[in-house]
Amino acid sequence: MKTIQLDDAGRLRHFLTVEGLPRSLLERILDTAESFSGVIEKSVKKVPLLRGRTIINLFFEPSTRTRTTFELAAKRLSADVLNINVATSATSKGESLLDMLRNLEAMQCDMFVVRHADSGAAHFIAQHVAPHVSVVNAGDGSHAHPTQAMLDMYTIRRHKGDFEPLRVAIVGDILHSRVARSQIHALNALGTGEVRVVAPRTLLPRDVGSLGAHVYHDIRQGLKDVDVIITLRLQRERMQGALLPSEHEYYQLYGISQERLALARPDAIVMHPGPINRGVEIESAVADGPQSVILNQVTNGIAVRMAVMSLCLEGRGAAEEEFA
Amino acid sequence: MNRLTLSGGRLVCPGNGLDRVDSLHVADGHIVAIGAAPDGFQADHTLDANGLVVLPGLVDLAARLREPGEEHKASIASEVLAAAAGGITSLCAMPDTSPVTDTTAVVELVTRRARQAHRSRVIPIAALTQKLAGEQLTEMAAMKAAGCVAVSDGGRPVMNTLVLRRAMEYAATQDLTVMLTPVDPYLSEGFHMHEGWVATRLGIAGIPVAAETAALARYLALAEETGAQVHFQRISSGRGAAMVKEARERGLPVTADVAMHHLFLTEMDVSGYDSQCNVQPPLRSHADREALRAAVADGSLQAICSDHQPHEPDAKQVPFVSAEPGISGLDSLLPLGLRLVEEGLLELSTLLRRLSLEPAGILGLPGGHLQPGAPADLCLLDPEQIWRLDTDTMLSRGKNSPFLGWEFTGRVRQTLLQGRVIHGQAGTPEPVAG
């Protein structure tokens, strides 16, 4: 997985996971995003970097926000964008994934942005695409959501600067979270002082410490003196899986309230990958409060995705040029 | 009348400690003498086994032959060909066919197809419950009369403990071995690999070791009360192996096997989402693999099986978690076993205990011996030949193996079933002049 993402010259070819990527490359993504943030704020929000390129958003799982920001990012780079939503259910097996890829490749696209419910799906697609096609993982199962993690890093850097002195707490359903896994890898690669995960045992994967995080079960200890609080979305279906007794008890034990926010450093920021469940994982007063940067995250998502797309396709000829 | 002499081969018998270069004489499908021919014995054929090792044919306790029901994956004819080429003379066909092997009709179909293929012997294992649904007992006596020697849950656990208890009691009454796969479905269904740090990194829901040990504890409690002869299929963890060992030390009539791939692969092999490594039970930790190896060496696990599960390419050409579990293992069973000998884990005779003598004993079959009276189920091995497992050298129709590309030393030259050559160049042994 580490090698498939980079080409022989060490450039980004696919962006599937943050794991294994060097700090310098992550910083390059952040720096490139920085340079694009100016574009977004201008009245004409376009640069011609990917003019003539075709990007396909291939979403096997419903998503509005992620798909929209990918689409906006591609359009601001002047690429042509195609959105394909594939309704999948375990029982209705039609065309195989590989056949579908072959067909889309035949349309001479340059990049697939893939979201899929199966962990490893983006990796599988990257292994099977033609050599000129890049794959960007927009979330695969519980494995990785690297662009979300990078936009979170971008947000943290904008507010906090250097990662080294920071304490970051990730609170909530780590077990099912592709976002949390990618964040932990990114925070560690960028040299973050301390990464914490805060959750009951039922929402923590086995050996989570091996990812590079300190485990807390008590929210009060977990939030003490942190600079960044990242709250994760709690899916309603977790109640059925006997992972938690009720939303009410979860909020009592792990909800981010103003009172708990006070345990963190006074200048701590609060983040959430969205969409938020008010009163389940976070109190409205915190979500809408002065320390919340939740909406900045959304804005930053466009610049970061522009950066990832342009870096993946940078210096690589369009399909027809390469085969000329 | 068919008399055969094998000369010049190194004879290795795990049962009686025989290990020397000598002649072996066969008449009417059985070994009649080792060393000097019996008085008046005139061989119709001789096989020159110079430079070869002569072993009792392997007995594989768990294979899926995909027939009836899944002939797009493999067939009895295609798989017995691979078995014969791999030195396997007897193999057990698991009952999770479609229809399930729960009637004499299916039992007879399997044995008939196997007979028609003229290769290795296929031993159909009957279903423990009708349709493997865990509700109603099968007609075990009738299926025994049709040739079954054991009954199995086919990897689908009987969840109703009362039904399971009665099935075990009934099987014990019929003197049938009960083969059970220790797996708790609540802890494993819908999950795809060993629960551990690799699963955490890959974001794959993990199967804890407790899926095996919780089921084992339940089965052992029933084994204690029913007196059934229980064989546990495919132990995957160190703790599971320790529980079997402890139960045997207490005197329970239980045995267990491990799949060959669990002695080589671990959760680490899944790291790149390699769907060839999607197996049930899952590949576990390095410590588990070491414990399983130790258990095979000291006999706490009695047998090694192929856990052969051939698939069509499409079954694996999907993301890891959507792939169908299983490894095509007939072609690599003996080669991997020989590697255990090469690595110094086992003596050759101990390997043959695990692959031939003990599995035969578990099923009450006469195989596993090189001695007068034993069936002439033999494997002639060229111990020096170096070869590579690839899709061309693999004979199983299922090419789904994580061992493709591995180089092995030692290859089966010929396989004999009851004195008849079922694999090898000299398919028609040369008649001896005079």
Which pLDDT tens digit goes with each residue over B230-280? 999 999 999 999 999 999 999 999 999 999 999 999 999 999 999 999 999
Torsion of CA A187, A189, A192, A197, to 10 degrees: 40
Rounded distance, CA B165 to CA B223, Å?
Answer: 8
Which of B362, B383, B414 is the C-terminal boundary of a domain?
A: B362
B162 token code pair: 């009362």
Return the exposure string of A148-178: e unless at least 16 CB atoms fall within 10 Å of the residue's CB, then b: bbbbbbbbbbbbbeebeebbbbbbbbbbbbb
The single residue listed with the structure tokens 């250097």 is: A162
Which of B362, B390, B411 is the C-terminal boundary of a domain?
A: B362
Give the largest Cα separation in chain B, rounded.
71
Neighbours of B50 (CB within 10 A): 10
How much is the average pLDDT of B408-416?
96
**Structure confidence at residue A10 (pLDDT):** 85
Residue B398, domain member (yes or no): yes
Residue B20 sits in the same domain as residue B80: no
**Structure confidence at residue A237 (pLDDT):** 74
pLDDT confidence bin for A242, thresholds 50/70/90: confident
CATH of residue B22's domain is: 2.30.40.10
**Structure confidence at residue A321 (pLDDT):** 45
pLDDT digit string, tens, across residues A43-52: 777 899 999 9
pLDDT confidence bin for A88, thresholds 50/70/90: low
**Structure confidence at residue A105 (pLDDT):** 85
Residue B431, domain member (yes or no): no
Give the largest Cα separation in chain A, rounded.
64
How is residue B195 annotated by DSSP?
S
A–B CB contacts, 8 A cutoff, strictly below: 72
Answer whether residue A166 shows pLDDT above 70: yes
ipTM value, please give it: 0.91
Question: B-chain residues within 8 Å CB-CB of A1?
Answer: 271-273
Partners of A66 in beta bridges: none
pLDDT digit string, tens, across residues B193-243: 999 999 999 999 999 999 999 999 999 999 999 989 999 999 999 999 999
Rounded distance, CA B31 to CA B272, Å?
Answer: 49
The mean pLDDT value of chain A amounts to 90
Q: Is the peptide bond before B335 cis (omega within 30 degrees of 0)?
A: no
A98 touches chain B (CB under 8 A): yes
CA distance B183 to chain A (A): 20
The single residue listed with the structure tokens 């900045």 is: A296
Beta strand B88-93 pairing with B420-423? unpaired
**Structure confidence at residue A90 (pLDDT):** 40
Residue B429, domain member (yes or no): no
**Structure confidence at residue B433 (pLDDT):** 37
A200 touches chain B (CB under 8 A): no
Looking at the partner chain, which of B196, B202, B208 has a beta carbon nearest the beta carbon of A120? B202
CB contact under 8 A, B273 and A116: no
Q: Are B200 and A206 in contact (CB under 8 A)?
A: yes
Residue B413 sits in the same domain as residue B343: no
Residue B34 sits in the same domain as residue B83: no
Rounded distance, CA B189 to CA B324, Å?
Answer: 13
Domain count, chain B: 2
The catalytic residue among B96, B102, B184, B307 is B307
Residue B251 sits in the same domain as residue B310: yes
Give the domain range for residue B100: 57-362
Question: B-chain residues within 8 Å CB-CB of A205?
Answer: 199-200, 206
**Structure confidence at residue A89 (pLDDT):** 44
Residue B350: enclosing H or E segment and its boundaries? helix B348-352
Q: Are B346 and B354 in contact (CB under 8 A)?
A: yes
Answer whether residue A93 shows pLDDT above 80: no
Residue B213 sits in the same domain as residue B66: yes
B68 token code pair: 């009836």
B363 token code pair: 């099923």
A46 token code pair: 């376009």
Residue B166 sits in the same domain as residue B43: no
CA distance B274 to chain A (A): 9
Q: Are B239 and B215 in contact (CB under 8 A)?
A: no
**Structure confidence at residue A94 (pLDDT):** 63
CATH of residue B244's domain is: 3.20.20.140
**Three-class SS string for B154-170?**
CCCCCCCHHHHHHHHHH
Residue B327 sits in the same domain as residue B410: no
**Structure confidence at residue A307 (pLDDT):** 97
Residue B299 sits in the same domain as residue B385: no
Of the candidate CATH numbers 2.40.320.10, 3.40.50.720, 3.40.50.1370, 3.40.1110.10, the domain formed by A23-144+299-322 belongs to 3.40.50.1370
Q: Is A23-144+299-322's fold the same as A146-293's?
A: yes
Rounded distance, CA B145 to CA B434, Å?
Answer: 44
Rounded distance, CA B378 to CA B283, Å?
Answer: 32
Q: Measured at the alpha carbon of residue A51, what is the angle toward residues A45 and A53, in degrees to the nearest 5?
A: 125
**Structure confidence at residue B430 (pLDDT):** 41
**Structure confidence at residue A95 (pLDDT):** 73
Q: What is the pTM of this model?
A: 0.93
**Sequence spans of domains, chain A:** 23-144+299-322, 146-293
A121 touches chain B (CB under 8 A): yes
Q: Which CATH class is domain A146-293?
A: alpha beta
Rounded distance, CA A272 to CA A236, Å?
Answer: 17
Q: Are A171 and A232 in contact (CB under 8 A)?
A: yes
Residue B132 sits in the same domain as residue B15: no
How much is the average pLDDT of B103-130?
96
Residue B350, domain member (yes or no): yes
CB contact under 8 A, B273 and A123: yes
